[in-house]
Amino acid sequence: MSSVKNQFGGAKYPRGMSSTEEGENDDRTTASVELLRKQHRKMLARLGMPEGRIQKDIAMLNYLIDIKFATEEINNRARIQTPLGMVKTITLNLVGGNPLTHIDFEQSENTSGVPANNVVNEPQAKLFEIHVYNDGPGAIAYGLNESKSQFEAQVGLLNGENKGFKFLDPTVKTLNILATPGNNAKARIITLI
């Protein structure tokens, strides 16, 4: 049977190795494997352990390892789904006709268009919950998880209205908000991390 050339210097398998799955049979390798099996059986006999017992112990160990990984995955998921309990309030005095204010809660360097004399302290994390309040007098428009485009602040709130969103996972990454043209408005944003 001809061998296929590859990275092992022309042979399909390195020297001393073969594959019985593909019909190749290397007598030296088969003899080596049988010798190792005999040595293994002798060692088990000296220790007084039946061969089947070791296999059961290995199966049990593999089962326990699977349980460990599953438990770690459950713990990681629970940690992700549990808010830190940090509540932050952002107050913005929006002027109608000014550009859109884009707040990136994860990366503060992406925040832009914050009105003068307003401070935005981003939590540097996605939010579980966000509430937007319009304290008037004008109307505002906002959008969640949108780009910086002014056309993506579509949800409107009139004076005195508010809207809240609550998620099972931290979901809210950005907020676009602006006052409608010709109106000034004060917006309060309450966030939960």
176 plus 144 within the same structural domain: yes
pLDDT at 134: 92
pLDDT at 2: 44
pLDDT at 13: 47
The pLDDT tens digits along the chain (193 residues) read: 444 444 444 455 455 544 444 444 556 667 777 777 788 778 777 777 666 677 777 778 888 888 888 888 888 888 777 777 788 888 899 988 888 888 988 888 888 888 888 888 887 888 989 999 999 898 998 888 887 765 666 788 888 888 998 988 888 999 888 888 888 899 999 888 8
98 plus 178 within the same structural domain: yes
Domain that residue 36 falls in: 1-49
Domain termination residue (choose one: 64, 80, 96): 80
pLDDT at 22: 45
16 plus 94 within the same structural domain: no
Domain termination residue (choose one: 37, 59, 80): 80
Q: Cβ(33)–Cβ(16) under 8 Å?
A: no
How far apart, in whole angstroms, are the C-alpha atoms of residue 77 and residue 93?
A: 38
102 plus 20 within the same structural domain: no
70 plus 151 within the same structural domain: no
pLDDT at 150: 58
pLDDT at 132: 93
114 plus 172 within the same structural domain: yes
108 plus 144 within the same structural domain: yes
56 plus 43 within the same structural domain: no
8 plus 43 within the same structural domain: yes
69 plus 96 within the same structural domain: no
What's the CATH code of the domain at 188?
Answer: 2.60.120
123 plus 163 within the same structural domain: yes
27 plus 75 within the same structural domain: no
Total domains in the fold of the chain: 3
pLDDT at 130: 92
